[in-house]
Chain A
Amino acid sequence: MSFEGPLQRLVDELARLPGVGRKSAQRIAFHLLSVDETDARRLAQAIIDLRDRVGYCRRCFNVTSSDECAICRDPRRDPAVVCVVERPQDVVVMERTHEFHGRYHVLGGALSPISGIGPNQLRIPELRRRVAEEDIEELIVATNPTVEGDATAMYISREFKPLGVRVTRLASGLPVGGDLDYADEITLGRALAGRVEI
């Protein structure tokens, strides 16, 4: 069955969101109907602000509400080291470690001919420009350990090493504090391949 007018419109819109099914969409819509009006308006305003004010950093393509993102503007960050990631969400994950003090470059995805994504659909031309204009010494490639992420990492290595830039890949391996039992076989295989002398 369907509801009348605006309620059904909202259910339809919510159901188009990733991870939201028909039932959840209904639950959310009825929830918004029952909460304080200010709460509902705050949500609506947040969505409007997102579209009005959030854009991409002109240097690294991280999400930002100004011209350049906070990380690129921070003078304490080392401009010589750039961590290359697939999505803006990955920046947040890296930042949470508080261990990385360079800048980022967000590719906007990974190489995937199946989906029609080649280097020019990613922000690789922009990375080339950065390497030419900035004093970048090292690219740390932190793409996902998937077929596409690995291919992208290799592409970046082949493309930028000849330019005299050091290209490194995040080591993938065992979770710290975990038992060997818990590591799946692929992870263990990679950890073995990337083993280091102690």
Chain B
Amino acid sequence: MRIGWVSLQDFRSYREVHWRPDPSLSILVGPNAAGKTNLLEGVAYLALLRSFRRAPDGVLVHRDAATGIVRGEVRRTDRSALIEIEIPRQGRKQVLLNGKRPARHSELSGALRVVTFLPDDLDLIKRGPGERRSYLDEVAYQVWPGAAAEQAQFERTLRQRNAFLKRGADDPVTWAVWDERLADSGARLVARRHQVVTALSGFLTDAYRDIAGKGRVEFVYRAMWTDRPEAGVEDLRADLHRALEASRRTDAERRITTVGPHRDDPNLLVDGRDARYEASQGEQRSLVLALRLAAHRVIREITGEEPVLLLDDVFSELDVDRAVALQAALPPSQTVVTTTALEHVPLEGAIFEVRGGEVVPR
């Protein structure tokens, strides 16, 4: 799969831009704040239907406009698809697939898949478990059409249960109902996350060795409420239900759900050591690259299609060894790289200059 063209209208710093990336590798070069990341963000928006920086939709709209528009064509060997998204400053976005509103969200899932390498990726390792939960959920989202709805259902149910606790948790039957609904949606979510962990395990160590040369990486899914995250939905549901009932007193006191998948701690180990606290800076840097490469391999393995690679100013952060290793490990997918200086990028490709809201081939 590859992107034929993308066009942005009143998106971030762009009033209007139309860009045809190279079928294999494009390098976007320009000074800071020229709009390179914004262009990449627009491309990723077609796949994720949200900002890869997790910015709220409202801030994506150009400050002088009420609505931003992202359009793009995705080509496959046998067909092409047109994705069009209208993003209002306030309210719901409209998404069209081939000119028609998709009957359901999952129709769009897989229309375009991307793997992003971002400057903040080190947060995946250095920061709390929330980053790693999101990483797992994002891979699931790109691979399984049902995952988006499962995630939304869990979030919604959690919000409802928390609202119930905030309002004083007065009715035992209602309480039992929300416990059961949360146990059900939470079990599905965690079964999915564990499915990703399992799929990754085959690739993570390989990808890490591609970058660091040696080492062994494990992804361990830890949850306070179960010691068998690998179990099926039924068992997980029973475990979570038990834990929710056991934490009722605490939940009532704190007026929030204190146990569940939203508190789980997916952990990365390098040679058996906790990557967050015990790995060296260098190991952490290699590990983030490995996480992204492994995500790419999992998506390719399960969907049978090469996702598009988006690398935002990644090489300038790397020492020579890792830059060379990453270059060698990059799969032959369509790739877009941004940089402030071409000498940072050890890759050959079509060069585009980004400045003043325009993208010009060199």
A interface with B by C-beta (< 8 Å): 111-114, 116, 118-119, 147-148, 150-151, 154-155, 158-159, 184-186, 189
Please choose the segment from B169-177, B212-220, B336-344 that sits at the chain A interface, where 4 or more of its residues have CB less than 8 A away: B169-177
Please choose the segment from B66-74, B130-138, B157-165, B300-308 that sits at the chain A interface, where 4 or more of its residues have CB less than 8 A away: B157-165
Q: How far is the CA of A119 from the CA of B172 in the complex (A)?
A: 11
Task: Report chain A residues within 8 Å CB of B331.
Answer: none
- Contact between B167 and A113, CB atoms less than 8 A apart: yes
Asked if B149 is an interface residue, CB under 8 A from chain A, the answer is yes
Size of chain B's interface in residues, with CB distance under 8 A?
Answer: 29
- Contact between A147 and B174, CB atoms less than 8 A apart: no
Asked if B38 is an interface residue, CB under 8 A from chain A, the answer is no
Interface pairs (30), CB distance under 8 Å: A111-B160, A111-B174, A111-B177, A113-B160, A113-B161, A113-B164, A113-B167, A113-B174, A113-B178, A114-B160, A118-B170, A119-B171, A119-B173, A147-B160, A147-B181, A151-B157, A151-B160, A151-B177, A151-B181, A154-B181, A155-B174, A158-B173, A184-B145, A184-B146, A185-B144, A185-B146, A185-B149, A186-B106, A186-B149, A186-B150
Number of A-B contacts (CB under 8 A): 63
Q: A154-B181, A185-B149, A189-B146 are in contact. Are A118 and B160 (CB under 8 A)?
A: no
Q: How far is the CA of A147 from the CA of B173 in the complex (A)?
A: 16
Query: Can you list, as one digit per residue, whether each of B170-208 has a CB less than 8 Å from chain A (1) or not (0)?
Result: 110110111011000100000000000000000000000
- Taking the closest CB of chain A, its distance from the CB of B330, in whole angstroms, is 32
- Contact between B160 and A112, CB atoms less than 8 A apart: yes
B interface with A by C-beta (< 8 Å): 103-104, 106-107, 144-146, 149-150, 153, 156-157, 159-161, 163-164, 166-167, 170-171, 173-174, 176-178, 180-181, 185
Q: How far is the CA of A150 from the CA of B154 in the complex (A)?
A: 13
Main secondary structure of the interface of B (DSSP, over half): helix
- Taking the closest CB of chain B, its distance from the CB of A98, in whole angstroms, is 27
- Contact between A147 and B163, CB atoms less than 8 A apart: no
Q: How far is the CA of A184 from the CA of B153 in the complex (A)?
A: 15
Of A147, A158, A186, which contacts B156 at CB under 8 A? A147
- Contact between A185 and B173, CB atoms less than 8 A apart: no
- Taking the closest CB of chain A, its distance from the CB of B267, in whole angstroms, is 29
- Contact between A116 and B149, CB atoms less than 8 A apart: no
